[in-house]
Structures are given as structure tokens and as C-alpha cells.
Amino acid sequence: MDIKLKTPLSKEDTKKLSVGDIVYLSGIIYTARDRAHQRILEDGSPVNLKGAVIFHAGPIIKISPSNEDEYKMVAVGPTTSTRMNPYQPDVLKLGVNAIIGKGGMDSKTEEALIENNAVYLAAVGGCAALYVKSILEVKSVNWIDLGVPEAIWKLEVKDFGPLVVAMDSNGRNLYKEVQNKIEANIN
């Protein structure tokens, strides 16, 4: 079943999601990779994280030659989420209700998802050109000193997806479930 949600997400939104659900998001999402996660914890967040969705992505951005504050998103695809494992549980405590990435995350993040009624949404790698079509506008950028891929980009999106609920707030983990099925078939 396809589920359309508007950001910021509420705990009620995320509690209803189950592993395997297909989600499309509209509203505001933020890109953030490992250096941005680290700085959020060291210096505080430059954006309101209550109900926020963080996308583990390093976008390709075109900066207008006539106005360096005007940006166009060329492509944006998920990056491997395991790089954020050292920071993600503490960032979730700041109010983040959903993470978008690829590859899943560790058991500490899984516990933090449960504790904070948050979800991990898997994006399909290789679909950067598809995902960029859902971006209506690059609203702003924070910490551009980290470089374009590592900066926090505030994106207004419409029907951003498809995203698969891969880790839900009830403790289900699609990656573990698939691994268990594989191991059961081998034995």
C-alpha cells in the first residue's frame, strides 16, 4: 500500500508505518551526511529537527553563475547510512522522526528508532535522477563550509519516493528478516 505523508512527521504518522510499506513524502526534508551529523551534536542543529526527515544524501548542486545563493538540484540519491551509525541515535533524540538512506543501520540506531517512535526509509540507490524530479525547490543551505555533499540542504519536496519502510518503530527490520529467510533456506 502506498502511503502519502506530509512533513514534519508526527509520532502518530511514524507509529502507523510498518516494514514493507511504501511511502511518499511532501513538505520539507533535509540532507545530512556524517560530518553534518557530527556537527549537529557538537554545535547544535541549524534547523528545527522536531518531526524532521533527514536524508542521507550527497546531492549534486548547480550554483547559479549570476547569484551564488541560487541553487538547482541536479541529482540526489541515497548514500550508505552505516556511516552515520556513530551519530544517528543521538540525532534521533533531537526530534527526528524519519531517516532516508540505503543499506540499513546498526542495532543502536534500531533501538533509538524504537525509543523515539521513528522509522528508517530505504531509498533505491541509482535513482538520483528520479528522486530529483520530486524536489520543488532548494529552500536553503547550512554549513556549506563542509562542502556541497556534506552541507545540510533544506528541500521542499512533493511525493518524494518511493521509499520503503525498512526499519519501523515497532522493532521490525527488513534487512534482518531477509537475512533470516536466506539463512533458513541455506540450512
Q: Which one of 37, 39, 56, 102 is the catalytic residue?
A: 37
**Rounded to 5 degrees, what angle do the CA atoms 60, 64, 67 make?**
135
In angstroms, rounded to a whole number, what is the distance separating the alpha carbons of residues 162 and 166? 12
In angstroms, rounded to a whole number, what is the distance separating the alpha carbons of residues 50 and 182? 38
In angstroms, rounded to a whole number, what is the distance separating the alpha carbons of residues 167 and 17? 9
- Per the DSSP assignment, residues forming a β-bridge with 141 are 153
Q: What single-letter amino acid sits at 40?
A: I
Active site residue 56: no
Nearest to 78 by CA among 38, 126, 35: 126
Reduced 3-state DSSP string for 110-171: HHHHHHCCCEEEECCCCCHHHHHCCEEEEEEEECHHHCCCCCEEEEEEEEEEEEEEEECCCC
Q: Is 185 left (phi over 0), alpha (psi -120 to 50) or beta?
A: alpha
For the annotated catalytic residues, the residue numbers are: 37
